Amino acid sequence: MAQHQRRVDRVLEPGYVDDRASCSLEELRSRHSECLEIETEVSYVRRLAQARLDILRAELSRRAAGGSVGDLIAALPQILADEGPRAPVTESRLPRHLAPSMDIKWNRGLEHLAFDETLATLPTLSDAELESRIEQLSTLERELSERRRSLHRVIEAIELDLASRHEVGRT
């Protein structure tokens, strides 16, 4: 039986953008919309992974400093505050979809780590288990970041084609 191919894998195949010259304007717009939706999904899971990483690293620091679980809970607003550097405005996108579809199944690869019970069982995890989860989440975050960059390249290629069609009045 053939394995189901994820949408993200399908749109990242070279043929997805290589044949865009033969696509109708409607098909090209549909592909653009699909890519934007997938990018929202990937970005959402990536941000969840980053938040979990921040919490798990803070838990390691809390343990090293001898603090209580209450100290970790009290620090959550600071831990989860997104004070990192922002991309330049010219490289930013205003998402069309503000949240991913609730129908998405995250059951392949490491994505399940963004939704598992780790945070609920955090005080019972050993340091070794905690470090292992941090390593796995770091791998997931890197994979999602690369996938997101690849999606941006596909989106940009489609947007360039859409813009050129509008510029010359082709449909």
Q: CA–CA separation, 117 vs 42, rounded Å? A: 20
The DSSP-derived string for 52-116 is HHHHHHHHHHHHHHT--HHHHHHHHHHHH---SPPPPGGG----S-SS--TT----STTGGGGTS
For the record, the structure tokens of 49 come out as 């992974």
| Residue 5 predicted with pLDDT over 80 | no
Question: Each residue of 32-61: pLDDT tens digit?
Answer: 999 999 998 888 889 888 999 999 999 999
Q: Taking Cα atoms as reference points, which of 11, 52, 26 lies closest to residue 136?
A: 52
pLDDT tens for each residue of 62-98: 999 999 999 999 999 999 886 666 666 566 555 555 5
Residues 6+ apart with CB under 8 A from 145: 46
